[in-house]
Amino acid sequence: MPQMNKGGKFIFGKSLIRTDGILRIPPQAMEEYHIADEGKVYLFTGSKITGGFCVTRKGLLHPSKLGHILDDTPQLLDYSAGSGEFIKYKGRSYCWVEISQEGQILLTKKMMDFLKVRPGMELLSIRSSDIAFTMGAKGPLLEKAENYDGEIPLFKCNNSSLPGRQATENHTQNEGATMVLYFTGTGNSRYLARRIAEGLEMPLYDLNACIKAGDTAPVQTGREVVLVTPTYAWRIPWVVSEWLDKTALTGAERIWFVMDCGSEIGNAAGYNRQLAAQKRAAVHGHSPDHHAGKLHCHV
């Protein structure tokens, strides 16, 4: 990635804000800052010159000389503040949001209004320090980028893979349609879920991040729910069953269970019916056929 002039700021690339507010962090910035490692990131307002926002995570910010920011704002430290809810602290404003393993975050309309950014903008990802990078929206650096002779890669989101709460927030604009939830062990279920979500043009909901964080807050799913999981011991993974047992799927009326497996799923249909009954939702996707190495939709 370019350094547009000798001794100047290092540029990771540009990130397009999609019409639904989803933005993808450039891969090199993700790797350098391990920015998706914790499943959540902090955003804080950028400088008056560059605008936009800066990105960091607890593991970088808290041990640093700026760690007092989190100590003085415990609602940020423990993520008890609402996702995307900015809190002012000594001249800047801070919030937290979830980030997918692919480096995608959601900027709600309220957040974009606050940050003075909008869908269609290409934010410039700039190395700022060893604890944060900037997603710049204006100023001299962006002007240089426009006139730069070399190539600055533009990163776009090709699907709607968002972690937990953010997928729910994004989905509230479309409550009557389908939400695709998935849990993955090796990546196969994530791939299947993406293909389904692309076909349905609806967001993905990453259960891995929610389960890891112990997040069992209610999920606004809308009427239709598709749950994609691997098959463990002839049923959906126990951690997913436990999460479903504790988490309200608000608005859900019908659930499709999609299970990928190497051979067969045993009596998973029976267990899935029990889970759906607990959620008071009709179940769909049952197939009597079992074929090794093929995808089955079962309840």
CB 226 within 8 A of CB 297: no
Please say if the pLDDT value at position 286 is more than 80: no
pLDDT of 282: 45
- Does 3 have pLDDT greater than 50? yes
Whether residue 190 contacts residue 51, with contact meaning beta carbons closer than 8 Å, is answered with no
Per-residue confidence band for 62, with pLDDT thresholds at 50, 70 and 90: very high
Judge whether 98 and 209 are in contact, CB under 8 Å.
yes
Q: What is the pLDDT of residue 15?
A: 93
- 159 or 261, which is more confident? 261
Question: What is the value of pTM for the model shown?
Answer: 0.58
Band (203; pLDDT cuts 50, 70, 90):
low
* pLDDT category of residue 264 using cuts at 50, 70 and 90: low
The pLDDT confidence band at residue 172, using thresholds 50, 70 and 90, is very low
Q: How large is the average pLDDT for residues 260-273?
A: 72
Question: Do 216 and 241 touch, CB atoms closer than 8 A?
Answer: no
Query: Which residues are CB-neighbours of 72 under 8 A, at least 6 positions away?
Result: 89
Q: Which long-range contacts (CB under 8 A, 24 or more apart) does 276-284 make?
A: 278/244, 278/245, 279/244, 279/249, 279/252, 279/255, 281/225, 281/249, 281/252, 281/253, 281/254, 281/255, 282/253, 282/254, 282/255, 283/254, 283/255, 283/256, 283/257, 284/254, 284/255, 284/256
